[in-house]
């Protein structure tokens, strides 16, 4: 069996921090008098914080100085951090540990590949740090998804060929990044949205260990 590597996005895949991002962006949007709904927030999934603010300001037709832009970036992040400081293991999405435990037992190298600059503290908060051989986050990447940089770096750290990697993603940009990296993509979310993924499950409770074993054996 060829060596495989499994790479997981964080927000919306392992933990549901997407709700906290939404609340923090909504707070800033309200402050700026910009209408911002959960539907609008879909555009922000898997996108860098800087790009999210650019989209938000564009939605409101707001032009600002670089200094003010940076201040709002900081304000949003501080607001978000207030939410994640209260996180614990109860925030882990259902059946994620089942898959991580199985892969760990099979000695499969695992990495986290996330745009979040808070990935490491979140993993520590929820008690999952020990599963991952590598964490590639927003501190180490210069190009946001759909660019494949984050996943290619993760594969490099795992010492696994990109074509032998499996990526779990909940965002369109993430699926596009995985495919651009030449990796097998597993979408977590709405099958009607994540149409470019190789396989889609609404959540980890739908994933059977037989499917994971098939991936390990190259029977995708």
Residue-range domain boundaries for the chain: 5-15+89-216, 18-84
The pLDDT of residue 47:
80
210 or 43: which leads in pLDDT: 210
Mean pLDDT estimate for the chain: 94
pLDDT, tens digit (0-9, with 9 covering 90-100), for 118-141: 899 999 999 999 999 999 999 999
Q: Is the pLDDT of residue 1 over 80?
A: no
Which has the closest alpha carbon to 163: 200, 107, 218, 111? 218
pLDDT digits (tens, 9 = 90+) for 157-208: 999 999 999 999 999 999 999 999 999 999 999 999 999 999 999 999 999 9
Q: Let me know if 11 is a catalytic residue.
A: yes
CATH assignment, 5-15+89-216: 3.40.50.1000
Most distant CA pair in the chain, distance: 56
pLDDT in the model for residue 99: 98
Q: Report pLDDT for 220.
A: 63
The model's pTM is 0.85
Q: Which of 45, 52, 47 is nearest to 76 (CA)?
A: 52
Helix 149-158 and helix 172-180, axial crossing angle in degrees, nearest 10:
60
Task: Give the pLDDT confidence of 11-28 residue by residue, as tens digits.
Answer: 899 998 878 989 999 999
Do 202 and 190 touch, CB atoms closer than 8 A?
A: yes
Query: Which among 11, 79, 137, 170 is annotated as catalytic?
Result: 11
Which one of 9, 79, 137, 170 is the catalytic residue? 9
Which class would CATH give 18-84?
mainly alpha
Quick one: tokens of 86? 């209260």
Q: How confident is the model at residue 43 (pLDDT cuts 50, 70, 90)?
A: confident
Q: How confident is the model at residue 42 (pLDDT cuts 50, 70, 90)?
A: confident
Q: Establish whether 190 is a catalytic residue.
A: no
- Asked if the bond preceding 146 is cis, omega within 30° of 0, the reply is yes
């Amino acid at each position: 069996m060829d060596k495989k590597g499994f790479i997981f996005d964080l927000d919306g895949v392992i933990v549901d921090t997407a709700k906290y991002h939404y609340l923090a962006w909504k707070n800033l949007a309200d402050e700026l008098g910009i209408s911002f709904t959960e539907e609008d927030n879909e555009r922000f999934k898997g996108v860098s914080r800087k790009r999210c603010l650019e989209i938000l300001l564009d939605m409101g037709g707001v032009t600002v100085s670089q200094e003010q832009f940076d201040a709002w970036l900081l304000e949003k992040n501080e607001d978000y951090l207030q939410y994640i400081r209260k996180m614990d293991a109860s925030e882990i999405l259902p059946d994620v540990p089942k898959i991580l435990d199985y892969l760990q037992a099979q000695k499969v190298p695992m990495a986290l590949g996330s745009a979040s600059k808070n990935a490491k503290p979140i993993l520590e908060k929820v008690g999952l740090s020990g599963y991952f051989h590598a964490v590639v986050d927003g501190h180490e990447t210069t190009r946001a998804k759909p660019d494949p940089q984050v996943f290619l770096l993760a594969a490099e750290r795992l010492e696994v060929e990109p074509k032998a990697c499996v990526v779990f993603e909940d965002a369109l940009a993430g699926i596009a990044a995985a495919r651009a990296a030449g990796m097998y993509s597993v979408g977590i979310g709405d099958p009607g949205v994540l149409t470019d993924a190789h396989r889609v499950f609404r959540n980890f409770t739908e994933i059977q260990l037989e499917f994971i074993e098939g991936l390990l054996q190259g029977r995708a």
